[in-house]
Amino acid sequence: MESRKNIAGSACGLVGLVLTFAGVAGAHRPVVVAGLYGAGALIAPPERPALPDFPDPSAQLDEVRDDFEKLRGYLTDVELSAAAATRLRGLTDLLAALLDRGWAAELLTHDPEGVHVLSRIVRRDLPETVDGFVRTRWWTRMAPGSESPELHLERQLGLLTEDAERLAAGLREAEARRQESHTRYLEERGGTV
């Protein structure tokens, strides 16, 4: 009853009734009313399905923040060498700064790729890196003489830190471009500095 096709058909059918009462339709009035209804139904735009309701980037960031807090709890229980612990602390500090609710979060809400990078590091890469280390370290104790799992852990943490630093550099560049753009705007408006 509420479809666009029915509404358009009914409006055209009413025009047919008006034509019938005006005497224009003559003896063919039922055909005119039905034909106008059908024509209206055919020319009406089709119904569009509703767009899916995806969470906005700020809601996605909130979920990543929650997952990061869970991850931090997990990381406090893992025994690491001093060098690996230092690298891990540097990475988690950088991730905490990127996930902070300040200006970085505002920039990330306009950067879905950045949200994806953070999500990938927090939800998959960092937990897998640390879990792989814990598992391999246990096996290394059972069969000594193989390559130290600490070396792989430190390399992996270094690579993840580089990913996070690239993201931070991209956000910093975006903010610098915004500032430069505002300076140009003010200069073009007539106010020179």
Contacts 24+ apart (CB under 8 A), 127-136: 127/71, 127/74, 129/153, 129/156, 129/157, 129/160, 130/74, 130/75, 130/78, 130/88, 132/156, 133/78, 133/80, 133/84, 134/78
* Domain tally, the chain: 2
Domain membership of residue 154 (yes or no) is yes
Whether 78 shows a pLDDT value over 70: the answer reads: yes
Residue 141 banded pLDDT, cuts 50, 70, 90: low
pTM over 0.85, yes/no: no
Statement to judge: residues 78 and 24 lie in one domain:
no
Of the listed ranges 16-20, 122-126, 144-148, 178-182, the least confidently predicted one is 144-148
Statement to judge: residues 80 and 159 lie in one domain:
yes
Domain membership of residue 52 (yes or no) is no
Rounded average pLDDT over 142-157:
82
Statement to judge: residues 37 and 96 lie in one domain:
no
Residue 129 banded pLDDT, cuts 50, 70, 90: very high
Q: Which H or E run contains 111?
A: none
Count other Cβ atoms within 10 Å, centred on residue 106: 12
Statement to judge: residues 85 and 142 lie in one domain:
yes
Q: How far is CA 69 from CA 20, 43, 122, 134, in A?
A: 73, 55, 10, 20
Statement to judge: residues 35 and 76 lie in one domain:
no
In single-letter form, the type of residue at position 186 comes to L
pLDDT at 117: 93
- DSSP-based three-state secondary structure for 174: helix
Residue 120 banded pLDDT, cuts 50, 70, 90: very high
Dihedral sign, CA of 33, 34, 36, 37?
A: positive
Statement to judge: residues 38 and 104 lie in one domain:
no
What is the pLDDT of the chain when averaged over all its residues? 86
Domain of 27?
Answer: 4-43
Statement to judge: residues 112 and 168 lie in one domain:
yes
Of the listed ranges 11-25, 61-75, 147-161, the least confidently predicted one is 11-25
Domain membership of residue 48 (yes or no) is no
Statement to judge: residues 21 and 63 lie in one domain:
no
DSSP state of 125: I
